[in-house]
Amino acid sequence: MHRELRDVPQAVSTGALPPPARIDRIVEAAHSRYLPLEDGAVADYIPVLAAADPDLFAVAVTETDGDVHEVGDVGDRFTIQSISKAFVFALACEAHGHMVLRERVGVDNTGLPFNSVIAMELGDGHPRNPMVNAGALATTALVPGATPAEQWERVRTGLSRFAGRSLELDGEAYHSEMLTNHRNRALAQLLESYGRVEVDPVSLVDVYTRQCSLRVTAHDLAVMGATLADGGVNPVTGERVVSGQTARDTLAVLASTGMYERSGTWMFEVGLPAKSGVAGGIVAIAPGKGAIGTFSPRLDSAGNSVRGQRATAYLSRALGLNLFASAAHAEPGQRSGPGERSAPGDEQSMARKTGSGEDRTA
Ligand code: GLN
């Protein structure tokens, strides 16, 4: 939290999801609506990703009460890739706090692709945000641990707590990426040259590549996201994984940077903090309500899953998740004039407010 507001308690402002049977129907509809869509292409800059089955498609929603609604290939495993950046950010933020991450990694969009070197060069080697590769490397460097092996174990167990099960490394994906990740090695060396990291850049890329190679399912992504939606408590295991403040900070940074240079368009269309990965996963989080995990390997030119984005946009709209959507308290003509307005706390006014809230979520 910003120091200046330390004495002000964090109040929350969230609503409720529709009833479970309605969520089931809407999740089914999101899946069947976009199943025929074949736009986009599977990532191939990491050789093993090119072998993915492009037709796989999974949609999962986990509520903050732990209920899960899912359809499609929800048990199929894929590598988490860049989605790991969100959860490693949460672990680093939990260890060092809001201001250290804000100052050392940054929270502003670069407006450039996720693996951009220019973005870093333009700002004295400052990585700008934790969701692009330079900032993700700088964030992984902040994970506590005396050795790279200890940091890796901390990442693996930390992300496993978000998922509520022990996540394992996809060894084939890790080796495949290690043979081709010259650009990430260059970014790590640049970070070192600018004095932005205090760890060995070669080991740093190794830990980062491992974190990207953890195997997850769409179901896992929905549970991991729901932990951020639930103030840092995993709603399935009941375990507190990070503080409420860390969960909030993570969602805030995802809102401006999670979909790379398309984050503005994403927020305009979908209105939810989200993170994508090049293996085809997307997690989107509705604070206080739950999270959406999708998986479909065909990507657009920014590296975001085509069907995953469409299904998430549909769910955001149909489930009432868009953070910026509101319904009028009263239509023009039904509104009482300023002079007649009841005093705050007045019983009638409170009843009307509660009533309109229930209408919207029914
Ligand atoms: N491991 C990938 C990389 O570093 C992750 C990128 C992504 O998912 N966008 O390039």
Mean pLDDT of the chain: 91
- Between the CA of 83 and the centroid of ligand 1 the distance, in Å, is 9
Instruction: Check whether 359 has a pLDDT greater than 80.
Output: no
- Between the CA of 133 and the centroid of ligand 1 the distance, in Å, is 7
Please choose from 49, 79, 81 the residue to mutate so as to test ligand 1's pocket, defined by most ligand atoms within 8 A of CB. 81
DSSP of 155-210? HHHHHHHHHTS---B-HHHHHHHHHH-HHHHHHHHHHHHTT---S-HHHHHHHHHH
Verdict on whether the full-model pTM lies above 0.85? yes
8 Å CB contact between 193 and 137: no
The whole-angstrom separation of Cα 55 and Cα 74 is: 13
pLDDT tens profile 245-256? 999 999 999 999
Q: Which atom of ligand 1 is nearest to the CA of 115?
A: 10
Instruction: Check whether 317 has a pLDDT greater than 50.
Output: yes
In the structure, what pLDDT confidence band is assigned to residue 353 with cuts at 50, 70 and 90?
very low
* Residue that wins the pLDDT comparison between 6 and 88: 88
pLDDT tens profile 254-311? 999 999 889 999 999 999 999 999 999 999 999 999 999 999 999 999 899 999 999 9
Instruction: Check whether 346 has a pLDDT greater than 50.
Output: no
Instruction: Check whether 361 has a pLDDT greater than 80.
Output: no
pLDDT reported for residue 215: 98
**From 68, 107, 207, 260, active-site residue:** 260
pLDDT reported for residue 9: 77
In the structure, what pLDDT confidence band is assigned to residue 356 with cuts at 50, 70 and 90?
very low
Lowest mean per-residue pLDDT among 113-122, 135-144, 317-326: 113-122
The verdict on whether 193 is a catalytic residue reads no
Consecutive H or E run containing 268: helix 263-269
Domains delineated in the chain: 15-323+350-354 (3.40.710.10)
- Between the CA of 357 and the centroid of ligand 1 the distance, in Å, is 41
The whole-angstrom separation of Cα 354 and Cα 208 is: 47
Instruction: Check whether 91 has a pLDDT greater than 90.
Output: yes
